[in-house]
Structure 1
Amino acid sequence: MYVGIDHGTSGIKVAAYDGEGDPEFLGKAPRRKVAERGLLRSLPDEARRAVEEAECICLNYGMGDALTEFTPLEEAEDLGVGYGLRDTSGAGREFGAGRRMVEELSELGVEAYLAPGIHRDLPRLDGAFRVFSHVASGEKLGTARLALELSSSKDIVVCDTSSNTVSVVVKDGEVIGGIDACLGAPGVLQGPLDLEAIRRIDAGELSANGAFSTGGIVKIVNCAGEDPESAVEEFIQRCGKEEKEWLARLVAWEVAGLGVVYDCDEAWIGGTLSGDDEFMGVLERVLSKAFNKVAGLPPESASMGLALIAADIASGARSVLGVRISRRP
């Protein structure tokens, strides 16, 4: 059994792959609960058993910006501030769940690898994206891996849109860049810093992280709150077609731009919003002008793709998506 664990804004998601068919999403644990009780005690029974019995696990934690390879957990612990992070601060609210998760997995003793973030130190990154220090965290490699598994092309744009929006460019089957949540289109909760945000930061009214954490569509709608564990579901359930169309247009702008510039054939959309018919209807209509194919991925695509990467690692692969795998001596 190969397991993928996505440490995301709205919770920690677990998927498993048995080597045949498609990966299966097994369950999710709220970040607050994991911070208080630990990962295994917070997961549904099936997901917990999969983690405990896994042959190999691939997971992401934080930004992953001190890693340039898929790295064994015990090696990553000594990098940067710890577990592949150059700094424990970052973008978004912190609960302590991720740190507790990686410590628990380390103690469990199963073979586990951390996915690196996509940042300017990755050897395969296109030069244009090196302007930015960071373009995506490690779970987006999982989303891209699942998309490639399902795609008929090796030249695609993969977008994960949920609490935030992040898009990744894949050329010839390798990740060469992307647009991070603080750079391009907003998500439901988080988004880029605009002029108003810069002025408020300079005036000392809020921090840059605070501005990012509330820079999504929530700042102009009244149908969703700012709790990271509930904002996306509130947006889906309570917001109308108009609000979803606003966000879909912004996401389409980001995805279409990358597709045109890098001559990509297909667009694959993951994240929680990929399960909303109204949102996806607008996105597919607009993006069909720029791509030969526009398709949705399961909302849990990151964890499912990380499970596929865990299987790749266990099979002896030297790299995945152009990112090297660090092997134990």
Structure 2
Amino acid sequence: MVYLGMDHGTTGISFGIISDEGIPIEVFKIDREDSKNGLVKAIDEIEKRINLSDIKLLAMTYAMGDGINTILPLNKVKNRGILSIEGAGKVTGGGTSVYSEIEESNIPTILIPGLHKNSTSLNPLFNASYSHQASSEKISIAYAALLETNWKNMIVGDISSNSVNILIEDGRIKGAIDAALGSIGIVHGPIDLEMIRNIDEGKITANEAFSNAGAVKIAKINTKVAHMKNKLLKNYENNDEKAKLAVDSMIMTIAMEIHGLIGISDNPIEGIVLTGSIGSLEKPFNFKNKINKYLKNKYPIAILSSESGAYGAAQIAKSVYNGKKEILGIPVDYTT
């Protein structure tokens, strides 16, 4: 028997499989475009690896997750747990196709919410300040970080297409800073004054601005989302000045965000956890070493693989199946 986790990421949909004992078995990724176009079926890919009847529980994430604030079984979820798909970055429809497949299957499944203004588990100051703080896969990443480090007070940084940093105190998520608000990622970033003017003048939409406000804006990279990271890293490796400026600027903004969360925490921070395709990167540059330029070795730093979202979701499935009624302060409404 196994548990399954699904990470609804920007560049693809990842599935993590763990054993009854919580040991990772395998992770695999489905391309969004292939899913949307029917070239790959999520259920087929799952069945290549395990029998569907062996899945005790699947925990999945989907988009912003701002329509729910509790971990729920799919039959209690309306509108896929979101308020709207608009204004949420690049939209391909691949994640929607996978959601429909899971919904139509007989796999027992729960949906993980995002962090937003209606989340009852968070510091109300964050909820009052920001309508949205983090999409649902950040919950599974944070849970993986908690299990891996056993730190109760930490910052979890997921650095990839987006950059989202999460503050955890006493084993509960206190708040987070979304990609649209603070630091830049590879693809997404905050909308600044120049972009606001372009939006008001009708040159671009707000979503287009958000989806091109990351390091790619500085590096002048314009290609498919799935190829942007590799293009940036290749340019960096080739000593392209724009790519180097983009990477260094991105790291500076992430450090600012981490320091900001440390500054408002009530408890001493035990350590920093870095993950994501950039946060776990060692070549062509070591992200941990670069961020330590700003953190000045004051905190232990743990690195999780970029697969932590999928495996973390699977660990949530395991914990919920075994009766846990709260994950990082987020309530659970599920009965086996």
TM-score (norm 1): 0.92
Residue in 2 aligned with 1:299? Answer: 306
User: Match of 1:40?
Assistant: 42
Alpha-carbon deviation of 1:328?
A: 4.7
Quote the Cα distance in structure 1 between the aligned partners of 2:262 and 2:151: 13
The one-letter code sitting in structure 2 at the alignment partner of 1:248 is I
Superposition CA RMSD, Å: 2.0
| Partner of residue 254 from structure 1, selected from 248, 252, 257 | 257
Residue-by-residue CA offset, 1:45-102 (whole Å, 9 max, x unaligned):
755x3667421111111111111111111211xx2xx111112323211111122111
Counterpart-to-counterpart distance in 2, 1:52 and 1:30? 25
> In the alignment, what sits opposite 1:29?
30
CA shift, 1:300, in A, is 1.3
* AA at the equivalent of 2:72: T
Any conservation in 2 of the 1:188–1:218 contact (CA below 8 Å)?
Answer: yes
The one of 231, 235, 240 equivalent to 1:238 is: 235
State the alpha-carbon separation in 1 of the partners of residues 228 and 251 from structure 2. 16
Displacement of 1:246 in angstroms is 2.5
Of 193, 196, 219, which residue of structure 2 is paired with 1:195?
Answer: 193
Q: Would the alpha carbon gap of residues 213 and 226 (structure 1) be closer, same or farther in structure 2, given more than 3 Å must change?
A: farther
Give 1:115 deviation, angstroms. Answer: 0.5
Q: Structure 1 CA distance, aligned partners of 2:51 and 2:153?
A: 33
The separation in 2 between residues aligned to 1:226 and 1:42, in whole angstroms, is 30
1:191 match: secondary structure: coil
Instruction: Identify the residue that residue 106 of structure 1 maps to in structure 2.
Output: 103
Which deviations, in whole Å up to 9, do the C-alpha atoms of 1:116-155 show, x marking residues without a partner?
0101111121122111011001100111001001114200
SS at match of 2:69: coil
Residue type matched to 1:117 in 2? G
Structure 1 residues 51 and 322 mapped into 2: Cα distance closer, same or farther (>3 Å)?
farther
**1:116–1:21 distance in 2 versus 1, CA, 3 Å:** closer
**In structure 2, what is the Cα distance between the partners aligned to 1:232 and 1:164?**
11
Q: Which runs of 5+ in 2 are unaligned?
A: none
From 286, 309, 324, the equivalent of 1:317 is 324
Distance 1:52 1:164, change over 3 A: farther
State the distance in 1 between where 2:184 and 2:192 align. Answer: 11
Change (3 A) 1:295 1:317: same
Q: Deviation per CA, 1:256-289: give whole Å up to 9, x if none.
A: 2212321422110111113322133201342244
Structure 1 consecutive aligned stretches of length 4 or more whose deviation exceeds 6 Å? none
Q: Distance in 2 between matches of 1:10 and 1:295?
A: 24
Seen in structure 2, the aligned counterparts of structure 1 residues 288 and 151 have a Cα distance that, compared at 3 Å, is farther
**Which residue does the alignment assign to 1:282?**
290
Q: Confirm or deny: 8 A CA contact 1:175 1:322 kept in the other structure.
A: yes
Where do residues 56-135 of structure 1 align in structure 2 (5 Å cutoff)?
56-76=57-77, 79=78, 82-130=79-127, 131-135=129-133
CA contact (8 A) 1:3 1:50 kept: no
Question: SS where residue 92 of structure 1 aligns?
Answer: coil
Could you tell me the percent identity over the aligned residues?
Answer: 30
Q: CA 1:248 to 1:50, structure 2 compared with 1: closer, same or farther past 3 Å?
A: farther
1:104-253 equivalent positions in 2, closer than 5 A:
104-130=101-127, 131-222=129-220, 224-240=221-237, 242-243=244-245, 244-253=247-256
Cα gap change, 1:233 to 1:53, in 2 (>3 Å): farther
Give, in angstroms, the shift of residue 231 of structure 1.
1.1
Distance of 1:148 and 1:25 partners within structure 2: 20
8 Å Cα contact 1:185-1:254 kept in structure 2? yes
- Counterpart contact for 2:27–2:310, Cα < 8 Å: no
Q: Is the 8 A contact 2:157 2:279 kept in 1?
A: no
Q: Which amino acid aligns with 1:127?
A: P
State the Cα distance separating 1:247 from its structure 2 match: 1.7
Tell me how far 1:217 sits from its aligned partner. Answer: 0.9
Report the counterpart of residue 273 of structure 1 in structure 2: 278
How many residue pairs match? The answer is 322
Q: CA deviation at 1:108?
A: 1.1
Measure how far apart 1:212 and its partner are: 0.1
Q: Deviations over 1:20-43 (max 9, x none)?
A: 364344210110111122532674
Task: State the alpha-carbon separation in 1 of the partners of residues 306 and 213 from structure 2.
Answer: 22
What is the CA–CA distance in structure 1 between the aligned matches of 2:279 and 2:192, rounded to whole Å?
Answer: 26
Given that 1:58 and 1:115 are in contact with CA atoms closer than 8 Å, whether structure 2 keeps it comes out as: yes
Change (3 A) 1:42 1:165: farther
Distance of aligned partners of 1:294 and 1:129 in 2 relative to their CA distance in 1, 3 Å threshold: same
Amino acid at match of 1:5: M
Q: Who is 1:7 aligned against?
A: 8
CA distance in 1, matches of 2:230, 2:53: 30
